[in-house]
Each structure stands twice: as C-alpha cells, then as structure tokens.
C-alpha cells in the first residue's frame, strides 16, 4: 500500500515498496521489543477481563506465543460503554472542550506516536509479521499523518446558516453521534486504529474500540499514549477480544450509537444485521474486495508490471484493496505474465526484521491454510501456476509469492478474496469487454487502469464501479482522500472530509424571527 | 510581583476572570466553565495564577459571573498556590537579537544603510535602532519571494500537509518562546505584559495552528458541467503577497497574515509597523528555524510612505493585504489600480456601535462596554466607541461606566496590576487628547479623565463622555484611544438607523435578553461582525472584516483562505460521459 507515500518517506531510495528500503534511513530494530500493556483500557485505566480470561497473541514469524492478553467479553464491553457514555454526558469535560482543543489533543497524540515510532514499528512487526522497514516507513508515518490531518479538522467542521423560506433563522450544528463502537482488523493494526480514532475524536465522539485478536499489542500501547497526552477518561476505551464475543456485544449493544467495522464482508453482514435487530445504530463498513487492475497495451510496461506486483503482493497480499484481478490486454499478455513471474521470483521473503525483506509471514495459521487452499483450487480449476504455490519456510506462516496465468473469470481464485500473495492474471481484448468483466463482481472497493491514453483513462475510471480508481498508480493513499466501497465492499467512506460525515449528527435549528431581511 | 499577588490570591480564590477572554479568542460558548473543565495542557497551569491574580487586582473585567479563561480554575488553595509558582514573569533585561531585514532566510542591512530608532512607549526612550527598508530592499525581497514561488521550487512542490506541518512547527516555536515574545511585545508596544502573554500570544499560536490544519483541506471541486467534459477546480496560491501590518497587535496581526497566506502556498513580503518591528523580526528567526525554505517569508521593517508604498506599487507583487487606517487603505487600493491590478484586501478603521437595551444584564453590559472600548488602551479597530444606551437606563449606565473607568489601573506594562498601558506614540497621545478637547468644545459632558498622565510615557487617562450626540467628531471619527462616548436612544428603529449611519462597518454589538431584539439588530447592522451579549469575542475560526469603508475581504476562518487563492477551472474533453 501507499506507493506515493513510501516514495516520499524515502525519496531517493524507493519509488515502489517492492524495491529495497535503505538501511541508512531506518534505525536498526530491536527484534524483541518489550510488551508493556496487555490489559483492557477503560476510563484511562488498565483492567483485567471481568471473566479473568486471557488469550495468547502469536508471533506469525515463528508461530510462538508473544504474551497473553486480557480477553474482553460482553461484561467488559458493558463497562467500556458505561465509561464512554459517562465521558459523553452533557457538561462533561469532553463535551465542553473547545473543538480546537480536541484537535490539539489529537495533534499531541500524533507527536507521541512519532516520538515512539521505532518501538511501535518493532511491536507491529513482532505481532503482525509485516516487514519492519514497511512498519517504520509506511504504517507509522501514515498513522501520524492521519491523526494530524483530523486534528486540523476538529475546529473546521462547520455547520451552515440556511436561507430558509419565511420569517425564520435557520442553522445547522454538527454534533457528535455519541458512543461509537469501532472494530478494526489485523492487517494494518495501527493505521486502522488511526483511521477510526481520527475522525471520531475530531468530531467529539467517545469510542469503544475492539482490536483484532491477532494483533492487540500496538493498539494497547497507543492507549497508553492517549492517556499520556491528556484525553479525558472514558473518551477512548480499547478492548482486546474476539469477534463473536466482544465484537458481537458491541454490534448489538443498545447504548452504542454507531458502529464502524473494517474486516470481511461476511462479518460486515452480521454487523449490519445486529444493528437492525438492536437499536438501529448507524453502521459504516469497510469490507473485502476483488479489485480489478486493468493494463492496456499502450501502458508503460515496466511500470505496469512493477505496480501490479506491488498492488497484489504488498503487505503479504493482506490488503482489502489488493489488485487481485490483473486484466491484461491480449497483445501484451504473454510479455506481462513473463515479467510478472520474474518479478515475483525476485521477491525477498523472510524474517520481517531483516531490512531486505519484502514479504513476511501471513498473519496466522488459519489464513495460511486458507490461502494454500485457494492455490489448490486455482490449480484444480485449470489456471496455470507460473511460480510459487507452496510454503516458504519451515516455521511461521510464510507462503511463496505465487502467480497464476490463464485465469478465467469463473474460477474461485478470480471471484473470492484470497488475502494472500497470489496473483491472478487474466486476458482481455477490448475496453468495453474489460469494463464489463471488471464490474462483474459483488465487490467494489478499488480499481486501477494503466494507459497513456487520456480518453481511455477517463472512460475506464468513470465506468468502474469502485470507491477508488487509480490511474497509472496503485495503492496511493492520503489522509486527505476518501476511501471506501461500492456494493458489498462497504458502506460509507473513511478519510478526507467525507470521513467526518460518518461521525456526525446534523441538527437543524430554526428560530422564529419578527421580520426577515436578506 | 509574584509575592504581592500570592496573598490576594489565597484570600480570594473564588473570584474569577471573565471578560478578558472574550477580547481574547475564547469561544463565547465557553462561558460558565467550572472546576470540572478539561485541563488544557497547552495553555499551562500558569494561566490559573494569572486568572486569579488578574481578578484580584481587577485589572481586566470582572463584573460578570462567567469564567472564560482557558484552563481549569482551581479552588483548592493548595493547588492554587502550586499553580502560582508558575506565574510567568517577563524576561528581565531581554536581549534584542534581531534588528535587520529578513530576506531569503538571511539577515541583511538596508541597501541605503539607513536605520531608524524604535521606542518604548512607556518611557519614550529609544530601545534600539533597526534597519530601515526602502524601495531597493522591497525589490530584493520581491525577487527572493518570486524565486521561492517559481514552478518546481521546493515550496511549490511541497505537499500541502507539509506546509501545514511547518506552520504547526512555527506555532510550537512561538509557544516555546512566548514569555520572551510577550516581554518584547510589551516593551515595544506598551501593552501590559500579562494580557499580552495570555491574549496576544495565545491568539498568535492558535491562529498559526488553525491555518496549519487547513493547508491540506483547501478543496477544489469536480463539477457536473454540461457536455462531454470533465471539469474540476484547483485552488492555487496567488503568488507573491505583500502584507502590511499595524502596531496595535504586532504579533497577532503577523499571524493573521502569515497563517492563511502560507497555508495556501503563497510567498510573502511583509512590512511590520515602524513603531513595533521587534517581535515580528523575532518571528522571522523562528520561521527560519521551523524550516520554511528561503524566500518564502521576507520581513522588512520600514515606513509606510517608502517601503509600504513600494510594496503597494510593485509589479512583482500579486496581492497586497493591509491592516491599518482607512486613509492609507484608500491609497493602497488606488496604487493597485494604477499599477498591476494586484488583489487588495483591507482591514481598516471602525466606529463600532454597541447597543445596550434596558432589558439587558446591566452589570454585564457595563463591563463589556467598558472592555469594548478600553481594551488595548483603546487601540482596537473594533473598539466599541459609540455606545448607544436605551433611555430608561441611560443615567445608571453612565454612572456605573464612570465608576468603572475611574477604577481602571493605568501604569507600567510590566506591573502585573496594570490594566492600561501607554498609547503607542507621542503622536497618537496628542491625537487622542486633541479629540478629547473637541468633545469638550462641541458640548459633550466630560465625566472623567481627559488628560495625559503625569508619567514619562505616552499615557492618557481613561476618559468617559456622556451626552454625546451623533454629529460630534468624537461620535464620528476613530479616536483609537481610551475615550468612551455614551449616547442615548429611545426606539429600536431609531438606534438601528443611527448605528448604521457611519462610513465604517467593522463591528457592532447588542446587549439584550430579548431574542427578537437580538436577531433584529444583528441582522440589521451593516457590520462584518456582530456580538450579542459579548464584545471582542474573536477566534481564529470566525471570519473578521469590514462592511463599507472598514475594509475589503475577510480574515480568519475558512473564508480567509479565499483571499489567498486563485481558483483555476480545468475542463477536459472526454469521449463519453456517464453520471
């Protein structure tokens, strides 16, 4: 992810994340960072689970337990919601705080994360398996930028005065929704936390956040920073726990006013149902994808190959926006496949703390097995395995960079989200054909087109049913630009000014006046 | 200074500050903060000390029951004492580090070799000599600014978020050096040190932070135009901006000008007032320290008729922003018309009406009306210098206003009990006293004050006139001094008409508990800002500027960005169109 951002972090060394990071720009990591926080964060205090239960969090590089973490369930969600409700009460410090001061707190949080960047990157890599060079140069800087971006919005999220008919004075207030449940995934633990906290706190909500059970550690450390920089108690509560228990309790809670979920489409369905059967809480969802990446024959081939490789393999293929259907125009198809295989074979898989590593392990055994299952299905259904396809190490959850040629639209690997380092390359003849095939999916998160032709670029970008379209680039993100899905890829948008909408109730106030004047 | 306040503080822990903060940048909705308020770590605990100290000495308003200073108010005596230890004191014998012209991130002597003295208005004594910029220096600065603005430059290719980051760093540096800056500001402008620290410095820091946040949020739009086209707009910087700022709020006016211009990506040639160049030059050093590329901001101390005129007439300057007198504002606009039609924004004089209805909270109205005109020794463009009081409460209002004015403590800016320092210069002092004489000779009733103080500096006594009529000079012209005019009115229609009968239209206020009167008057006022039951409640989020001859354009708020942007419409032919 974040090509452009990577290139800005390391302008001289890396245009694409696929190339090696410069060791000079990145401090040598401590490969065994100490874990300071493993409890539930409620009311700015650390709590054991009410049940006393804990669960292990695993280092995916080795399959070994890092430590045990308190396991939140319904009773802990109850406590956290109470705290968040209390923090949101009329007259509370949080409700009476100047908006600019909310912004200042967010800004201080960004500063604290920046201060502890190396440690957080180490911990992220330990718990998630992503290469340290990426954690340090992509994830952390973007966390900091996202929080700073929303810090700036806090006192700029303006209502309007409205020239309503009649002798009335009418204005709107942008008010926070209230207690927001936020359930975040394991693929970008810190970044997804920032995407959720930034807009929710800028707009003045309080938060009960459940972090993914695979990657609870960095979020809990950030909790300590939230306290350190001075957020009032109860404004942010962070619970480590499982989806079916803690997550379900959040989705169905009668006193949670809004729930935001990032994760699988399957669970997204459950969240929206739970809202419907409980209190009709607002729901925003950022779900799966099977994003088409369309390469026209006039594209710069070298660039297209590299970008397409990056689009799929970045973050071990564990991106909701992964370009997992690479449509290549017929006249360059063979050349493109050949070069993509060469590139995949060159990909450095290994210890994520090694700065040369491009690809670490998958997040856990379940994902590891699921991906291997998809590779098997691809072979069975007649796609041509061009490289990879197997396990890449004796221990840990490493999978070889895998490329399939001759992939057909009806194959499982062309329809379902694999969330692993497995690239599908499909062939097309005409523009109309490829747009129709690209759109023939229940997903609509992202898409890309590579071409030098301005008309083709417009045609494709305007006709694809996807929340984000990249032209001659991929995974270019900025806190300023909205992100989210059409169709079953989600509901609502995160980031940008649009991201504030999802955390706002608009109140229209109308006052009778004796006489109106323009 | 500290020890003297401690005793008072401990004795009167329950008293609290209020109206100062309205002058200063607190959101009026904050009224009524209590001890449960959130901590504001950025404002530091010493604010609490200030809050109480101020109170005890009544040096800033104190009649209302509201507390509006940022930060919690500690009622626990131990906590209070602890916070008092942090009570800020001015830097003793502050060193003046920067007296040269700042071009291309370097300190330069004037081309002519000329220097000019800058004074301490509290004593009339010279502080130091400063390099005097003239046309040749303006040329150099414009060249630097143009280069910094050229396509492909570091500044032009910088991410907008990074521009914001630099502004944010600048705010942090101002915060770091705020005690020093407040000391110099007091020394050079005569305004009392504590309000300078808590009003001017906070306002400066908050303005820079506010616009820092906007840098990457200045959105163009994509537009559903007719036909087979894709149309979008880009908000581009205008280019080289000349900015000419006044002496009444030297630091804050610097921030008001720099914030939006830099957030939008312009480059700047800024001339501070010749009376108060020192803090602005120190900001120049912080701009360099923060990491702004050379040539992005250039600061030239000098005089209006020479350096200022050169800027207004310069063909290499794309926009000029001026804050100052209406008289000079006209010259600036004329000059722009004669030269390259540079964009002009003006923030000029005022004669702002402050309308007090009989149903208002009288204590509040008296105190706010007092602050509305006397704040900053009366040297505010927003000064509420025409106070219209409804007939039934007129006499009582005058009586209480006179009592309040007589209680005002005038003295050294570095005495923590001082509410009012000197006027900025001998010239201004004489001008104010001349206005007082005209009031007396035209038949207004001098209720108190009216004379220079028997001190070395440029002091004027707090002065109140009653029985003022609309045709008097003191009711029509901007005095810019501690002189309050109180008029009588009978009906709402009458007062609206009289209040609007002015060349100016900067601000206005109304005090009433009747929602219909409040809305009727606020709608009818020909003024860029209307305050209801408050005065001088300003904040970086809210636009500010004048109707009529009080100016052109708005500063602050989102709208403030518009004055530093050119909108470019880009339309691209497409083969097909789909919704």
Question: What is the rounded distance in angstroms from the CA atom of residue A259 to the CA atom of residue A23?
Answer: 41
Residue B223, strand partner residues:
B231
A397 part of contact set with chain B, CB < 8 Å: no
Residue A14 · residue A20 · CB < 8 Å: yes
Q: Which residues of B touch A107 (CB under 8 A)?
A: 168, 209
Question: What is the rounded distance in angstroms from the CA atom of residue A50 to the CA atom of residue A40?
Answer: 10
Active-site residues of B, by number, are 347, 381
Q: Which of B41, B213, B575 has its CB closest to that of A152?
A: B213
CB contact under 8 A, B574 and A459: yes
Report the run of H or E that residue A397 belongs to, with start and end: none
Per the listing, tokens 């050169």 go with B310
Q: Which residues of B touch A230 (CB under 8 A)?
A: 38-39, 41
A458 part of contact set with chain B, CB < 8 Å: yes
Q: Which residues of B touch A454 (CB under 8 A)?
A: 572
Question: What is the rounded distance in angstroms from the CA atom of residue B264 to the CA atom of residue B364?
Answer: 40
Q: Which of B26, B39, B516 has its CB closest to that of A514?
A: B516
- Strand B507-511 and strand B353-356: the pairing is parallel
Q: Torsion angle of alpha carbons B284, B290, B291, B293, nearest 10°?
A: -30
Question: What is the rounded distance in angstroms from the CA atom of residue B353 to the CA atom of residue B350?
Answer: 9
| Burial of A52: CB neighbours in 10 Å, binned 0-12, 13-18, 19+ | exposed
CB contact under 8 A, A100 and B217: no
CB contact under 8 A, A230 and B30: no
B211 part of contact set with chain A, CB < 8 Å: no
What interhelical angle do B202-214 and A140-153 show, nearest 10? 120
- CA-wise closest residue to A180 among A209, A140, A157: A209
Q: Which of B206, B520, B558 has its CB closest to that of A156?
A: B558
Residue A240, strand partner residues:
A211
CB contact under 8 A, B161 and A479: yes
Q: Which of A108, A458, A515 has its CB closest to that of B230?
A: A458
pLDDT by residue, tens only, chain B of 579 residues? 333 333 232 223 233 333 333 333 333 333 333 333 443 433 333 333 333 333 333 333 333 333 333 334 445 555 555 555 567 899 999 999 999 999 999 999 999 999 999 999 999 999 999 999 999 999 999 999 999 999 999 999 999 999 999 999 999 999 999 999 999 999 999 999 999 999 999 999 999 999 999 999 999 999 988 998 999 999 999 999 999 999 999 999 999 999 999 999 999 999 999 999 999 999 999 999 999 999 999 999 999 999 999 999 999 999 999 999 999 999 999 999 999 999 999 999 999 999 999 999 999 999 999 999 999 999 999 999 999 999 999 999 999 999 999 999 999 999 999 999 999 999 999 999 999 999 999 999 999 999 999 889 999 999 999 999 999 999 999 999 999 999 999 999 999 999 999 999 999 999 999 999 999 999 999 999 999 999 999 999 999 999 999 999 999 999 999 999 999 999 999 888 888
Largest CA distance in chain A: 81
Tell me the ipTM for this assembly. 0.85
Query: If you measure CA to CA, which chain A residue comes closest to B522?
Result: A517
Query: If you measure CA to CA, which chain A residue comes closest to B38?
Result: A93
Residue A403 · residue A312 · CB < 8 Å: no
Residue A329 · residue A301 · CB < 8 Å: no
In this structure, what DSSP letter does residue B219 have? -
Q: Which residues of B touch A497 (CB under 8 A)?
A: 217, 219
Residue B465 · residue B479 · CB < 8 Å: no
Of the residues A44, A101, A142, the best mutation for testing chain B's interface (the one with the most B CB atoms within 10 Å of its CB) is: A101
CB contact under 8 A, B217 and A101: no
Q: How many CA atoms lie within 13 A of B542 on its CB side?
A: 15
Question: What is the rounded distance in angstroms from the CA atom of residue B135 to the CA atom of residue B140?
Answer: 9
pLDDT by residue, tens only, chain A of 518 residues? 344 444 333 333 333 343 444 445 899 999 999 999 999 999 999 999 999 999 999 999 999 999 999 999 999 999 999 999 999 999 999 999 999 999 999 999 999 999 999 999 999 999 999 999 999 999 999 999 999 999 999 999 999 999 999 999 999 999 999 999 999 999 999 999 999 999 999 999 999 999 999 999 999 999 999 999 999 999 999 999 999 999 999 999 999 999 999 999 999 999 999 999 999 999 999 999 999 999 999 999 999 999 999 999 999 999 999 999 999 999 999 999 999 999 999 999 999 999 999 999 999 999 999 999 999 999 999 999 999 999 999 999 999 999 999 999 999 999 999 999 999 999 999 999 999 999 999 999 999 999 999 999 999 999 999 999 999 999 999 999 999 999 999 999 999 999 999 999 999 999 999 888 98
B216 part of contact set with chain A, CB < 8 Å: yes
What sign does the CA torsion over B511, B516, B517, B519 have? positive
Residue B387 · residue B512 · CB < 8 Å: no
Residue A87 · residue A259 · CB < 8 Å: no
Q: Which residues of A touch B496 (CB under 8 A)?
A: none
Kindly report the backbone phi and psi dihedral angles of residue A100, in degrees, each rounded to the nearest multiple of 5, phi listed first.
-65, -30
Active-site residues of A, by number, are 286
Residue A166 · residue A30 · CB < 8 Å: no
- CA-wise closest residue to B421 among B320, B550, B276: B276
- CA-wise closest residue to B215 among B266, B275, B267, B264: B264
Question: What is the rounded distance in angstroms from the CA atom of residue A194 to the CA atom of residue A142?
Answer: 9
CA distances from B342 to A16, B212, B324, B333, B554 (A): 43, 26, 18, 9, 17
- CA-wise closest residue to B182 among B520, B494, B416: B416
Q: Torsion angle of alpha carbons B449, B450, B451, B457, nearest 10°?
A: 80
pTM of the shown model:
0.87
Q: Torsion angle of alpha carbons A22, A28, A30, A36, nearest 10°?
A: -80
Token digits of residue B172: 């942090």
Long-range contacts of B33-37, Cβ-Cβ distance < 8 Å, separation of 24 or more: B33/A96, B33/B67, B33/B68, B33/B69, B33/B72, B33/B73, B34/B67, B34/B73, B35/B72, B35/B73, B35/B74, B35/B75, B36/A91, B36/A92, B36/A93, B36/B72, B37/A93, B37/A96, B37/B71, B37/B72, B37/B73
């Amino acid at each position: 992810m974040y090509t452009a951002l990577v290139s800005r972090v390391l302008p001289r060394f890396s245009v694409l994340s696929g190339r090696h990071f410069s060791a000079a720009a990145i401090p040598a990591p401590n490969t065994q960072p100490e874990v300071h926080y493993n409890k539930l964060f409620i009311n700015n205090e650390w709590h054991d689970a009410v049940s006393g239960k804990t669960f292990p969090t695993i280092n995916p590089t080795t399959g070994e337990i890092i430590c045990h973490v308190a396991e939140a369930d319904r009773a802990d969600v109850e406590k956290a919601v109470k705290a968040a409700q209390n923090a949101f009460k009329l007259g509370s410090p949080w409700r009476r705080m100047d908006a600019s001061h909310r912004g200042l707190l967010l800004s201080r949080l960004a500063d604290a994360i920046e201060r502890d960047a190396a440690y957080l990157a180490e911990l992220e890599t330990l718990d998630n398996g992503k290469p340290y060079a990426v954690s340090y140069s992509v994830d952390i800087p973007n966390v900091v930028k996202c929080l700073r971006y929303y810090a700036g919005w806090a006192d700029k999220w303006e209502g309007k005065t409205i020239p309503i008919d009649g002798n009335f004075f009418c204005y709107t207030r942008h008010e926070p929704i209230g207690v927001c449940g936020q359930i975040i995934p394991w693929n970008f633990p810190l970044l997804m936390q920032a995407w959720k906290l930034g807009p929710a706190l800028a707009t003045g909500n309080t938060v009960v956040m459940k972090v993914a059970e695979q990657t609870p550690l960095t979020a809990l450390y950030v909790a300590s920073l939230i306290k350190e920089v001075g957020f009032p108690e109860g404004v942010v509560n962070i619970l480590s726990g499982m989806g079916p228990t803690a997550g379900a309790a959040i989705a169905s809670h009668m006193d949670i006013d809004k729930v935001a979920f990032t994760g699988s489409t399957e669970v997204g369905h459950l969240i929206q149902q739970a809202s419907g059967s409980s209190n009709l809480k607002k729901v925003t969802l950022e779900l799966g994808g099977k994003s088409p990446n369309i390469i026209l024959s006039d594209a710069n081939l070298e660039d297209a190959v590299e970008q397409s490789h990056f689009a799929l393999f970045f973050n071990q293929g564990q991106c909701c926006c992964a370009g997992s259907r690479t449509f290549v125009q017929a006249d360059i198809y063979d050349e493109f496949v050949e070069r993509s295989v060469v590139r995949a074979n060159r990909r450095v898989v290994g210890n994520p703390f090694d700065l040369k590593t491009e690809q670490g392990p998958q997040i856990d055994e379940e994902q590891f097995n699921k991906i291997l299952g998809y590779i098997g299905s691809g072979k069975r259904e007649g796609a041509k395995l061009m490289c990879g396809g197997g396990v890449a190490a004796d221990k840990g959850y490493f999978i070889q960079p895998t490329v399939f040629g001759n992939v057909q639209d009806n194959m499982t690997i062309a329809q379902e989200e694999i969330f692993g380092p497995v690239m599908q390359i499909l062939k097309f003849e005409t523009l109309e054909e490829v747009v129709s095939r690209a759109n023939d999916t229940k997903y609509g998160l992202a898409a890309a087109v590579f071409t030098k032709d301005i008309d083709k670029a417009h045609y494709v970008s305007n006709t694809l049913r996807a929340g984000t379209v990249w032209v001659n680039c991929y995974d270019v993100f900025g806190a300023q630009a909205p992100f989210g899905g059409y169709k079953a890829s989600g509901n609502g948008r995160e980031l940008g000014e649009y991201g504030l909408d999802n955390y706002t109730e608009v109140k229209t106030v109308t006052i009778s006046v004796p006489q109106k004047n323009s | 200074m500290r020890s003297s306040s401690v005793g008072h503080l401990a004795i009167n822990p329950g008293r609290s500050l209020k109206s100062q903060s309205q002058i200063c940048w607190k959101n009026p909705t904050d009224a009524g903060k209590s001890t449960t308020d959130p901590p504001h770590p950025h404002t530091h605990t010493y604010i609490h000390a200030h809050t109480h100290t101020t109170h005890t000495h009544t040096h800033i308003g104190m009649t209302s029951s509201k507390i509006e200073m940022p930060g919690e108010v500690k009622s626990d005596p131990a906590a209070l004492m602890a916070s008092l230890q942090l009570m800020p004191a001015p830097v003793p014998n502050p060193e003046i580090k920067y007296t040269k012209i700042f071009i291309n991130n370097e300190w330069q002597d004037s081309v002519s070799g000329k220097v000019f003295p800058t004074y301490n208005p509290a004593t009339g004594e010279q502080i130091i000599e400063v390099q005097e910029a003239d046309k040749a220096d303006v040329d150099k600065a414009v060249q630097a600014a143009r280069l910094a603005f050229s396509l492909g430059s570091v500044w032009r290719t910088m991410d907008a978020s990074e521009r914001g980051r630099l502004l944010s760093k600048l705010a942090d540096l101002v915060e770091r050096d705020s005690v020093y800056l407040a000391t110099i500001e007091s020394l050079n402008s005569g305004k009392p040190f504590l309000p300078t620290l808590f009003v001017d410095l906070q306002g400066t820091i908050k303005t820079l932070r506010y616009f820092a946040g906007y840098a990457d949020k200045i959105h163009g739009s994509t537009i559903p135009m007719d036909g087979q086209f894709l149309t979008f707009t880009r908000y581009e910087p205008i280019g080289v901006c000349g900015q000419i700022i006044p002496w009444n709020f030297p630091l804050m006016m610097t921030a008001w000008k720099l914030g939006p211009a830099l957030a939008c990506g312009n480059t700047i040639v800024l001339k501070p007032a010749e009376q108060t160049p020192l803090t602005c030059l120190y900001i120049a050093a912080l701009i360099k320290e923060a990491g702004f590329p050379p040539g992005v901001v250039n600061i030239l101390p000098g005089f209006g008729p020479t350096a200022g005129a050169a800027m207004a007439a310069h063909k290499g300057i794309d926009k000029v922003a001026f804050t100052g007198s209406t008289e000079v504002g006209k010259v600036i606009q004329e000059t722009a018309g004669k030269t390259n039609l540079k964009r002009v924004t003006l923030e000029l004089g005022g004669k702002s009406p402050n309308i007090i209805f009989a149903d208002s909270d009288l204590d509040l109205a008296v105190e706010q009306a007092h602050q509305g005109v006397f704040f900053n020794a009366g040297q505010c463009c927003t000064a509420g210098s025409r106070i219209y009081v409804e007939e039934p409460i007129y006499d009582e209002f005058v009586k209480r206003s006179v009592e309040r004015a007589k209680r005002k403590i005038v003295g050294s800016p570095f005495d923590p009990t001082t509410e009012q320092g000197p006027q900025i210069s001998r010239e201004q002092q004489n001008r104010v006293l001349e206005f007082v004489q005209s009031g007396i000779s035209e038949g207004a009733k001098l209720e108190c004050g009216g004379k220079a103080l028997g001190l070395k500096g440029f002091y004027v006594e707090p002065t109140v006139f009653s029985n003022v009529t609309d045709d008097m000079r003191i009711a029509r012209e901007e005095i810019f001094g501690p002189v309050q005019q109180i008029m009588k009115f009978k009906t709402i229609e009458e007062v609206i008409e009289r209040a609007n009968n002015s060349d100016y239209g900067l601000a206005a206020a109304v005090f009433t508990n009747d929602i219909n009167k409040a809305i009727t008057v606020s709608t009818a006022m020909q003024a860029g800002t209307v305050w209801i039951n408050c005065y001088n409640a300003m904040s970086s989020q809210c636009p500010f500027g004048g109707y009529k001859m009080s100016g052109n354009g708005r500063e602050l708020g989102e709208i403030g960005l518009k004055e530093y942007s050119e909108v470019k419409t880009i339309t691209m032919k497409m083969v097909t169109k789909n919704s």
